[in-house]
Each structure stands twice: as C-alpha cells, then as structure tokens.
C-alpha cells in the first residue's frame, strides 16, 4: 500500500512520463517546421547549443536565487560551507544541486544525440529543452511543498533525458 505522498509522487511522475512520451514522439513523427537544423555537423551543434540555452537559464536562475538569498540573509551570507544554513537556504541549495545534476546529464545526452542521431530526429532536442525548462520551473515552485508537488517538474526534466539516452543505443542497433 502506498502512502499519500507516494501516491502523489507516482501521479506526478506518470503525468510527466506521459507528457514526455507524447511530446518526444510528436517531435520524431510529426516534426514541427523549423525544428530541424541545417545539414551538417557544425549546424547541428549550433542548433543544439541554442536550444540548450534554456538549460543554462535554469541553472543561472537557481545560482542567482541562492546568491540573492545569501546576500540578504545575515545567517546565510557566509555560505553553506561555513554555516548550516536557514531552511530557505537549504531548499534553494537542494534545488540548485538537483538542477546542476539534471543539467549536466541533459547537456551530455543532447550532445551525443546531436552527433549520432538522424537529422529527421533532431527536433527531439528542442522538445526536450522546452520540457526541461518547464520542468525546472515546476520543480522549483513545488520543492518546498514536498515530494508530490515537485514530482511533475522532476519528471519533465528527467524523463526526456532518460528516454533520449535509451533511444540512442536502440536506434544504433537498428542501423
């Protein structure tokens, strides 16, 4: 039997997984006009870098939020290495840490996808970047409210990356 929190997390994760599968499938099967880069390796990398700026925005916003909080909170101004931190600083640090982890994984997967997957599948990169951005906003807003409130945001950030990671070797084996 699942607890109420576990049920809430499961609902959020399943909703995020469902949305991810639909969005990525549409990106592959019904590629939106303008979501395919120019032919050639350099153009593909530029294309991915432009879309991945959404990931950088999320990371920078999290760093800025924690820095701002520390500057205006005397108990936290010395930083996490010198103080235990207020509950707000701990929340901001946790969100930042998760965003950093998710960003590193997503950047790596998007890069490998860009250089190894067919041109017709490249629309997955902007789809995943948009899901990442929306997911991070939802994760950030819901974090302090508990696991069920941040589950959808986490799923929209994590599942696109994981699905891309699983699709790559599957596609390579079919070639």
User: In this predicted model, what pLDDT tens digit does every residue of 127-139 receive, in sequence order?
Assistant: 999 999 999 999 9
**Which domains can be identified in the chain, with CATH numbers?**
4-174 (1.20.120.550)
Residues 140-152 as b or e (16 or more Cβ within 10 Å = b): bebbeeeebbbbb
pTM greater than the 0.85 cutoff: yes
pLDDT in tens, 108-128: 999 999 999 988 899 999 999
Helical H runs in 30-146?
41-72, 87-116, 124-142
Question: How far is Cα 108 from Cα 129, in angstroms, rounded to an integer?
Answer: 13
pLDDT in tens, 39-94: 777 888 999 999 999 999 999 999 999 999 999 999 999 887 777 889 999 999 99
Q: Name the pLDDT band for 175 (thresholds 50, 70, 90).
A: low
- Average pLDDT for residues 144-167, to the nearest whole number? 97
Nearest to 61 by CA among 160, 158, 132: 132
């Amino acid at each position: 039997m699942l607890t109420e929190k576990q049920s809430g997390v499961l609902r959020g994760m399943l909703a995020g997984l469902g949305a991810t599968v639909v969005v990525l499938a549409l990106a592959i099967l019904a590629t939106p006009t303008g979501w395919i880069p120019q032919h050639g390796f350099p153009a593909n990398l530029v294309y991915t870098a432009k879309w991945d700026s959404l990931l950088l925005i999320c990371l920078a916003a999290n760093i800025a939020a924690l820095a701002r909080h520390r500057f205006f909170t005397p108990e936290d101004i010395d930083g996490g290495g010198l103080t235990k931190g207020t509950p707000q600083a701990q929340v901001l640090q946790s969100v930042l840490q998760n965003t950093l982890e998710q960003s590193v994984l997503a950047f790596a997967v998007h890069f490998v996808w860009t250089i190894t997957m067919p041109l017709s599948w490249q629309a997955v990169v902007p789809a995943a970047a948009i899901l990442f951005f929306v997911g991070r906003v939802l994760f950030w807003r819901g974090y302090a409210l508990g696991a069920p409130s941040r589950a959808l945001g986490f799923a929209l950030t994590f599942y696109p990356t994981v699905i891309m990671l699983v699709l790559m070797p599957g596609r390579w084996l079919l070639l």
